[in-house]
Amino acid sequence: MAIGLGSGILFSYPQIATICGLQGVIVYAFSSSLPILIFGWLGPIIRRKCPEGFVLTEWTRQRYGIITAIYLSILTLITLFLYMVAELSALQQIINALTGLDGLPALVVEAVFTAVYTSAGGFRISFITDNIQGAMVLGLIVLAVITVGVETHIDPSLVESTGLLHASLLGWQLLYILPVAILTNDFFISGFWMRTFASKTDRDLVIGTSLATVAITIILSLVGITGLLAAWTGAWPGDPPSDGSIAFFLLLGQLPNWVVGVVLCMTVCLSTAAYDSFVSAMVSTGSNDFFRNKLNIWIIRIVVPLVSIPVIIVALKSPSILNIYLISDLLSASSVPVLIIGLSDKCYWWRGFEVVVGGLGGLLTVFIFGTIYYGDASLGAGLLILQEGLYADDWSVFGAFVAAPIGGLLFALAAFLLRVAVQWGYARSKGVPFTALDKPVWLDGSADFYTGPSSIAPVSGEDSAIHNGESSEEQRGIVGEDAVEIGHKRHSPVKGTFF
C-alpha cells in the first residue's frame, strides 16, 4: 500500500473525476489497485528462479545476461526518477494550494530530512515509515469523509448538469489505457519487488498484496470522488475556472481551517513516506545493478542526498503530475511484455537481444503511429512524451498505448528471427553445430537453473551494500538451506545470454 499511494493521488484522481466522471474514478481506482495482485502471482515464480535477488533486474541478469539487465536498470532508474519528480511536484502544488506559500522550502526540507534517515537506516527504515504512512492515510480518509459529509452541501441541479454520471468516449478508452499503463509500469517500481522478495513466505506475499489491493481501491475511490463533490457543490471550476487537478483542494476550501491544517500535515507525512521508498529503491537498484553491492557505505550515504538535487530542479518545472506518470508508462508498456516472456520455461529460446530490440522498437512504433496519425513527424515525436496529456480529445493516446506493446512484440519477434537466421548461417558457413534452439542444460536435467526455494528473505538494497565486509553469501542474501546441492556441491544459476 505504501508504494501504491503518494501525495500525487490528491491531484490525479480528482482530476480524472472532473473529466470522465464516475466512470473514470472507478476505472482508475481498479486499474491502480488490481495490478498489485500480479506480485502475489509472479512473485513466487521469480523468487524460486532467483532466490538471492531483491529486485527484478537481478532476475533479468540471470535470465537474459548483463546487457539486458543494464538496459532494464536504466529504464527502472528513469521510472523511479519520474516518480520522485511527481511526488515532490505534487507536494509543491499542495503547499501552494492550501497555504498560498512558495512550495520550494517544503521540497528542500522533505528531501533533506528523507535523505538523512534513509542514508542512516537503509531500506529497513522505509518499512517503518510505511506503517506511519498507513496510519496517516487512514486518519486522512476518516477525517475527510466525516468533515466533507458534514460541511459540504451538494446542489442537486449540478449533479445532472455536469454530466459526470454519464459514460464518455475517454472513459471507455481508459478501460484499456490505464490497466496496460499501470500494470506494466509497476514492474519498474523497485519498491514493489523489494517487498516481494522480502516477504517471509509466498503465503504472506499473497496476503499482503490482497490486503493492499482492497485498501488502495477504497482509498483511491474516495479520493477520486472528491472531484465529483467539488463539481456538485460548485467549488469547481470556480470563477475564474480552475484546472480539475486542484478540485480536491477547492473542496477543502469549504472546510474549517483546522481541518485544512490537519490534512496538510498528514499529506506531508504521506509524501515523505512514499518519497523515501523511491529514494531507497533508486539507490539500491544502482548499487546492485552497476556496482554489484561493492560500494562503501559512506558512498551510499553521500549518493542518497545527491539524488534529490536534480529531482527538485525538475519538479519545480513539472506542473502536470499525471503527465509525468504517463511518460514512464509508455516506457514500460513497450518493454515489459517482451521481458516477461522469459518467465516461461517453454520459451527458453528467448534471449536478451529480443528484449532490448523489442523495448526500443515499441517506442519507435509509437513515433511511427504518431507521425502517421498527425501527418507530422514533430507531433509524432511529441506523442512519446504525451505532450497533449491523457485527455486529448482524439485517439492519439489510445493508439500510443496500443502501438507500444504490440510494436514491441513485433520488433522482438523480428529480432528473434534475425538472430536465429544469422546464427544458422554462421553455423553452416563454419561447419559448427547450430545450437540457437537447443534446450539449455537446466531444462534437460543435467544442471539446475535455480539456486533454491524462496522461503527466506534476502538482504536488500543499501542494507546489502552496508555489509560490504561480509562474504558474498551473507552479502547477497541468506543462502544456507536455500542453496541447491547437486553432488554435494553448491551450483550457481546458469547465466543468461544476450544472443
* Rounded Cα distance, 13 and 259, in Å: 21
Task: Name the more confident of 281 and 477.
Answer: 281
Going from the N-terminus, what domains does the chain have, and what CATH number goes with each? 9-322 (1.20.1730.10), 349-438 (no CATH)
Q: How many other C-beta atoms can be found within 10 angstroms of the C-beta atom of residue 464?
A: 24
| pLDDT bucket at 317, cuts 50 / 70 / 90 | confident
pLDDT at 444: 57
For residue 8 the three cell numbers come to 500525487
DSSP string, 97-151: HHH-S-SHHHHHHHHHHHHHHHHHHHHHHHHHHHHHHHHHHHHHHHHHHHHHHHH
Stronger pLDDT, 490 or 91, i.e. the higher one: 91
The predicted structure's pLDDT at residue 272: 85
Residue 263 pLDDT greater than 50, yes or no:
yes
Residue 132 CA to residue 123 CA, distance in Å, equals 15
Cell 515464480 identifies what position? 45
- Over pLDDT 70: what percentage of the chain? 88
- Are residues 198 and 126 in contact, defined by beta-carbon separation less than 8 angstroms? no
Q: Is 316 helix (H, G, I), strand (E, B) or coil?
A: coil
What is the four-CA torsion angle of 126, 127, 132, 136, rounded to 10 degrees? 90
Question: pTM value?
Answer: 0.82
Quick one: average pLDDT of 198-221? 93
Does the pLDDT of residue 482 top 70, yes or no?
A: no
Residue found by looking up cell 553469501 in the block? 473
Name the nearest CA neighbour of 103 among 93, 113, 112: 93
Cα of 334 vs its chain's centroid, Å: 14
The pLDDT score that the predictor gives to residue 322 is 64
Does pLDDT of 477 surpass 60? Answer: no
How many CB atoms are closer than 10 A to CB 336? 25
Look at residue 100 and tell me whether its pLDDT is greater than 70. yes
- Confidence at residue 443, expressed as pLDDT on a 0 to 100 scale: 65
Tens digits of per-residue pLDDT, 106-135?
888 988 888 888 878 777 787 787 777 777
Chain mean pLDDT for the chain: 83
pLDDT at res. 321: 67
Q: What is the DSSP-derived secondary structure letter of residue 346?
A: G
pLDDT above 80 for 461: no
Summarize the confidence of residues 5-26 as an average pLDDT.
90
Pick the closest to residue 247 from 261, 260, 233 (CA basis). Answer: 233
**Of residues 461 and 13, more confidently modeled:** 13
Indicate whether 402 pLDDT > 80: yes
Q: At 495, is the pLDDT very low, low, confident or very high (cuts 50, 70, 90)?
A: low
CB contact at 8 A, 283 and 304: yes
Q: What is the DSSP letter of 437?
A: T
pLDDT higher for 299 or 178? 178
pLDDT of 316: 83
